[in-house]
């Protein structure tokens, strides 16, 4: 008699008995669950696993489709794999680097020894379609890490994987294969290429744009949006990283092991300060500018950017005066509600926009105003609680907040009086050439550390709220980022290595029976690739101090 185990399926709250060693694909086929765009992966006891995964014990299983963050990532990684396979088939001596998330897709740097043409893009797209239509199995291999290193050492274009795997200290490694082409990905993949029902491939600048289905509406590709400024910031940082020879986590780990962490910190900090000084000079040299607007998503470092920019503005002969948008919140009872009926503090209309514009006009007309003060405990605004303010000659107003680039926020102020800065943590280092680091992961780790240290908030609670925060960003921040006069990348080359030491113990506190455990486990796995750097060499004015503590600025 065959041994069986019990699987509790969260999707339909049914329990099924399956033979020991069954794959998740086998279990789904008898579960009675129906999914139009899935399953692409599953949560097994609140840890994401691929559909290749075999069960040997009683488990709780929730199947995931492409509309979930984890499922969407699995779909996108599988597309990366097919793209890399297609490039290898057509250009045996060439390779592709999965580089930058941009325009609702991913910019891929195709390196074939010459300029990329439309014909190249067409050939690759057609080859990808052939691989997908031929329903090739995506095979999962688990072996001792030294064997995986040997596999990838045979291919010169996989040197970044070799460097990564040699440095992480894992006993065993999982890699994937399509028809003899091997690759490594740090998350789950699909089981067959035929599951990739939709993608796009376009020529984009000097490379490719891999377009992917929208997570919210997976029947269509994400809309291409113009993000020239964002793209240039990424490219600028890549050019700098190429000069110093650190483009992947494997490169960074090697430098840390060789004792070069201090130099990396000093150069990164100097580069960031140089950028801030350049922005201050641009403001000072812009005729008629009376106000600097600084926007960016959660945990992008807007506050420290504002403080450091204010210092640089003073060196240019200007006196920065700051208004806090937090004090312009409407009374809590008047705050808009979101689709769940909760107060939507991310909404533009959670702010008293008419009062803000009235005060700005009065200030720029030379009048004195009385600032409001918002009491977060009572949820009430004190109209005269913030004291008096009047702008003097050479004063420049600095306004920081998530809505600062939204034209409606300051619609009564002429554009020529504004200088707009968009700040975000645009992670430019890659895990390896086929594994990028989501910029949202960088910000989430910053927020987890800061919330735990200064707001009494557990990693579980921060992770639980993150989906709502991201939805607010997509609605209220990202559509306006290209309105910026300049973009400022607040991410630093070394920061994930510094965050690691503080984030890991906080993430380990998330219990296995919590839904948030899946995300905590994923972040811990990601951090395991990175060698830690002690924060003692980081200066007190560093932007990362806003999250780690030890800053010389007051928050």
Residue at 547 is within a domain = no
DSSP string, 113-168: SS---HHHHHHHHHHHHHHHHTT-B-EEEEEEHHHHHHHHHTSGGGHHHHHHHHHH
Q: Cβ neighbours of residue 504 under 8 Å, at least 6 residues apart? A: 524, 527
Mark which of 43, 65, 87 sits at the end of a domain: 65
Report which secondary-structure segment, H or E, holds 286. none
- CATH number at 142 reads 3.30.980.10
Identify the pLDDT of residue 307: 95
The pLDDT tens digits for 143-188 are 999 999 999 999 988 999 999 999 888 999 999 999 999 999 989 9
Identify the pLDDT of residue 149: 95
Residue at 222 is within a domain = no
Is the model's pLDDT at 1 over the cut of 80? no
**Residues 300, 194 share a domain:** no
Compute the Cα dihedral for 123, 125, 126, 127 and give only its sign.
Answer: positive
φ, ψ of residue 352 to 5 degrees: the values are -85, 80
Identify the pLDDT of residue 341: 83
Which residues span the domain enclosing 30? 4-65
Is the model's pLDDT at 36 over the cut of 80? yes
Average pLDDT value for residue range 450-478: 92
Average pLDDT value for residue range 389-402: 93
**Residues 47, 168 share a domain:** no
**Residues 289, 157 share a domain:** no
347: exposed, middle or buried (Cβ count in 10 Å: 0-12, 13-18, 19+): middle
- CATH number at 30 reads 3.10.20.30
**Residues 180, 237 share a domain:** no
**Residues 488, 370 share a domain:** yes
Residue at 458 is within a domain = no
Identify the pLDDT of residue 168: 86
**Residues 260, 140 share a domain:** no
Average pLDDT value for residue range 422-426: 93
Q: Cβ neighbours of residue 456 under 8 Å, at least 6 residues apart? A: none
Residue at 114 is within a domain = yes
pTM over 0.85: yes
- CATH number at 304 reads 3.40.50.300
How much is the mean pLDDT over the chain?
A: 94
**Residues 162, 109 share a domain:** yes
The pLDDT tens digits for 497-524 are 999 999 999 999 999 999 999 999 999 9
The pLDDT tens digits for 304-356 are 999 999 999 999 999 999 988 889 999 999 999 888 788 888 899 999 999 99
What total of structural domains would you count in the chain?
Answer: 3
**Nearest 10 degrees: Cα torsion 119, 124, 130, 135:** -170
**Residues 117, 48 share a domain:** no
């Amino acid at each position: 008699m065959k041994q069986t185990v019990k699987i509790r399926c969260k999707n339909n709250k049914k329990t099924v008995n399956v033979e020991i060693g069954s794959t998740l694909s086998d279990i789904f086929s008898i579960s009675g669950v129906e999914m139009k765009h899935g399953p692409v992966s599953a949560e097994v006891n609140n840890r994401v696993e691929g559909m290749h995964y075999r069960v040997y014990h009683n488990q709780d299983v929730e199947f995931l489709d492409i509309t979930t963050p984890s499922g969407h990532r699995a779909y996108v990684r599988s597309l990366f794999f097919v793209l890399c396979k297609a490039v290898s088939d057509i250009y045996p001596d060439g390779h592709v680097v999965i580089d930058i998330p941009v325009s609702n897709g991913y910019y891929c740097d195709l390196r074939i020894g010459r300029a990329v043409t439309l014909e190249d893009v067409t050939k690759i797209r057609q080859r990808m379609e052939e691989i997908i239509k031929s329903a090739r199995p995506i095979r999962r291999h688990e072996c001792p890490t030294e064997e995986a290193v040997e596999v990838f050492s045979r291919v010169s274009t996989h040197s970044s994987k070799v460097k990564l795997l040699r440095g992480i200290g894992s006993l065993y490694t999982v890699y994937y294969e399509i028809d003899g082409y091997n690759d490594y990905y740090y998350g789950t993949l699909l089981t067959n290429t035929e599951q990739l029902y939709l993608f796009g491939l376009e020529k984009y600048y000097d490379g490719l744009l891999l377009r992917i289905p929208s997570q919210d509406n997976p029947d269509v590709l994400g809309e291409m949006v113009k993000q020239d400024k964002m793209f240039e910031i990424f490219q600028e940082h890549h050019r700098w990283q190429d000069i110093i020879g650190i483009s992947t986590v494997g490169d960074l780990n090697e430098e840390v092991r060789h004792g070069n962490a201090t130099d990396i910190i000093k150069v990164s900090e100097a580069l960031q300060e140089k950028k801030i000084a350049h922005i201050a000079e641009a403001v000072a040299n812009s005729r008629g500018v009376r106000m600097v607007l600084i926007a960016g998503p959660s945990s992008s470092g807007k506050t420290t950017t504002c403080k450091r920019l204010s210092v640089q503005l003073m060196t240019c002969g200007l006196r920065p005066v700051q208004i806090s948008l937090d004090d312009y919140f409407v009374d809590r009872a008047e705050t808009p509600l979101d689709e769940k009926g909760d107060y939507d503090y991310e909404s533009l209309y959670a702010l008293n926009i008419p009062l803000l514009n009235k005060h700005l006009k009065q200030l720029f007309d030379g009048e004195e105003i009385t600032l409001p003060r918002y009491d977060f405990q009572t949820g009430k605004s004190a109209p005269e609680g913030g004291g008096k303010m009047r702008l003097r000659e050479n004063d420049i107003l600095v306004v920081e907040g998530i809505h600062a680039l939204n034209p409606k926020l300051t619609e009564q102020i002429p554009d020529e009086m504004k200088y707009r800065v968009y700040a975000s943590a645009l992670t430019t280092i890659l895990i390896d050439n086929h594994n990028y680091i989501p910029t949202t992961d960088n910000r989430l780790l910053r927020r987890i550390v800061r919330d735990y240290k200064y707001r009494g908030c557990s990693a579980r609670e921060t992770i639980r709220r993150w989906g709502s925060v991201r939805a607010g960003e997509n609605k209220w921040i990202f559509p306006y980022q290209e309105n910026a006069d300049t973009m400022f990348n607040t991410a630093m080359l070394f920061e994930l290595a510094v965050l690691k030491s503080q984030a890991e113990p906080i993430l380990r506190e998330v219990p296995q029976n919590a839904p948030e455990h899946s995300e905590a486990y994923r972040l811990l796995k990601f951090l395991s690739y990175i060698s830690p750097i002690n924060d003692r060499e980081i200066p007190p004015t560093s932007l990362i101090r806003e999250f780690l503590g030890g800053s010389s600025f007051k928050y």
